[in-house]
């Protein structure tokens, strides 16, 4: 006997809801923070976790499933086999090797490259229409690697890039001005991490451009304070890692925010890593963050934001450094 007594004349729904499926590859600190934010924000109907560490994977899956009574209904499964990802709308890649003491960045990158060689082709085979969202570091180079390995058009391969750096920037500006970070518009573009570029002229609070406001009011231009804020952004990841061993919550929210814009076709603008060839005089195939509009088709367009000469130069220099590493890697 069925648990529920069916209601005979209940009309079956003629238009089933579109089914969303997200796969998260790598269930380390970052992958799990992303997974749990996606669940609490009700962004998907199905969530698949993939990792090579079978015990950790099953443990993480069970731990999330046990929260079902408190969460929106989402089917959660986990597998070491990437066929479980079949039909994903979005694949978020956080898998990566951990840096061994004394290991060079290039060696670490080489190891991540071989991890990507084992991850990306099967993902693409099982979900040929998916969008790839790359989080593993160095994110700009690995997004390029994923693009090359996938054979996808560049609009469907996105790196989380400076979305996180920009949110750290917005928090610090908000804290300095004692306003809500959601009212602060400010972009950091370029390479994720040390050589990122802060777009000072982009800062506005509640629609008021901050720099020109200060200049018009003849308030002392707080260049030093602003530069220190950017320095803190660059240092903040190192600080968190030094204090707690890794970063997780902010990248979790930041990537869930990107997932929402993509899957819910929000057409919001985020600074994310995109194929930057053709922008600001960059002529090589490199991925760098620029403010881009995200929707169901992935990258819908890139904002033609004004960069001054110094900002352009820094972007071009980052592109050159990245190209050189890509050449050294032979990719």
Cβ closest to ligand 6V0, residue 170 vs residue 205: 170
Element (H, E) at 122: helix 105-126
Owner of token pair 């990537």 = 255
For position 319 contacting ligand 6V0 by CB under 6 A, the verdict is no
- Pattern of binders to ligand 6V0 over 108-127, x per CB under 6 A? -------x--xx--------
Q: How far is CA 95 from CA 8, 114, 208, 296, in A?
A: 49, 11, 40, 24
In the set 22, 123, 139, 198, which binds ligand 6V0 (CB under 6 A)? 139
273 near ligand 6V0, rule: CB under 6 A = no
- Site membership for ligand 6V0, residue 27 (CB under 6 A): yes
Q: Which residues contact 23 (CB under 8 A, 6 or more apart)?
A: 47, 48, 49, 50, 84, 85, 88, 90, 91, 92, 123, 127
C-beta separation of 174 from 204 below 8 A? no
Near ligand 6V0 by CB under 6 A: residue from 167, 247, 257, 326:
247
Cis peptide before 49 (omega within 30 of 0): no
How near is the Cβ of 29 to ligand 6V0 at its closest, in Å? 4
Q: Please state the closest distance from residue 79 (CB atom) to ligand 6V0, in A.
A: 11
Shortest distance (Å) from residue 184 CB to ligand 6V0: 19
64 vs 100: CA distance, rounded Å: 30
Q: Say if CB 90 and CB 131 are below 8 A apart.
A: yes
**For ligand 6V0, which residue of 37, 85, 88, 137 counts as binding (CB under 6 A)?**
137
Cα separation of 40 and 243, whole Å? Answer: 26
190 touching ligand 6V0, by CB under 6 A: no
Only segment of 26-34, 39-47, 176-184, 260-268 that touches ligand 6V0 (CB under 6 A) = 26-34
Please tell me whether residue 98 binds ligand 6V0 under the rule CB under 6 A: yes
Whether the CB-CB separation of 225 and 176 falls below 8 Å is answered with: yes
Q: Which of 24, 30, 39, 199 binds ligand 6V0 (CB under 6 A)?
A: 30
Q: Which of residues 52-71 bind ligand 6V0 (CB under 6 A)?
A: 52-53, 56
Counting residues that bind ligand 6V0 (by CB under 6 A) gives: 29
Q: Which is nearer to ligand 6V0, 56 or 268 (CB)?
A: 56
| Residue 192 is a catalytic residue | yes
Q: What are phi and psi of 137, to 5 degrees?
A: -100, 150
- In sequence order, which residues have a C-beta less than 8 Å from that of residue 269 and are 6 or more positions away? 291, 292, 293, 294, 303
Q: Please give the full DSSP string across 42-85, using - where no structure is assigned.
A: T--SEEEEE-S-HHHHHHHHHHHHTTGGGS---EEEEESSGGGG
Q: Is 252 a residue that touches ligand 6V0 (CB under 6 A)?
A: no
Contact status: 157 vs ligand 6V0 (CB under 6 A): no
Catalytic residue among 192, 230, 270, 306: 192
- Please report, as ranges, the residues that interact with ligand 6V0 according to CB under 6 A: 25-31, 50-53, 56, 94-96, 98, 115, 118-119, 135-137, 139, 160, 164, 192, 246-247, 251
Active centre residues (catalytic)? 192
């Amino acid at each position: 006997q069925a648990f529920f007594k069916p209601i005979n004349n209940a009309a079956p729904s003629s238009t089933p809801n579109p089914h969303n499926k997200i796969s998260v590859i790598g269930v380390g600190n970052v992958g799990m923070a992303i997974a749990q934010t996606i669940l609490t924000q009700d962004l998907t109907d199905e969530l698949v976790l993939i990792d090579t560490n079978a015990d950790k994977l099953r443990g993480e899956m069970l731990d999330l499933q046990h929260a079902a009574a408190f969460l929106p209904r989402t089917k959660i499964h986990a597998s070491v086999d990437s066929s479980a990802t079949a039909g994903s709308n979005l694949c978020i890649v956080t898998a990566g090797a951990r840096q061994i003491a004394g290991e060079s960045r290039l060696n670490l990158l080489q190891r991540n490259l071989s991890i990507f060689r084992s991850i990306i082709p099967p993902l693409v085979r099982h979900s040929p229409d998916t969008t790839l969202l790359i989080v593993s570091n160095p994110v700009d180079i690995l997004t390029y690697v994923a693009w090359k390995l996938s054979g996808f058009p560049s609009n469907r391969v996105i790196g989380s890039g400076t979305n996180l750096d920009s949110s750290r920037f917005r928090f610090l500006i908000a804290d300095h001005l004692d306003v809500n970070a959601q009212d602060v518009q400010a972009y950091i573009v370029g390479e994720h991490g040390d050589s990122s570029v802060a777009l000072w002229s982009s800062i506005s609070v509640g629609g008021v451009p901050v720099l020109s406001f200060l200049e018009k009011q003849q308030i002392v231009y707080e260049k030093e304070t602003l530069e220190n804020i950017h320095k803190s952004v660059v240092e903040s990841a190192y600080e968190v890692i030094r204090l707690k061993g890794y970063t997780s919550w902010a990248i979790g929210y930041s990537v869930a925010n990107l997932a929402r814009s993509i899957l819910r076709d929000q057409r919001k603008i985020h600074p994310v890593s995109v194929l930057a060839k053709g922008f600001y005089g960059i002529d090589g195939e490199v991925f760098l963050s620029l403010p881009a509009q995200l929707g169901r088709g992935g990258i819908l367009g890139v904002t033609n934001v004004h960069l001054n000469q110094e900002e352009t130069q820094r972007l071009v220099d980052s592109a050159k450094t990245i190209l050189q590493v890509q050449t050294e890697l032979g990719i």
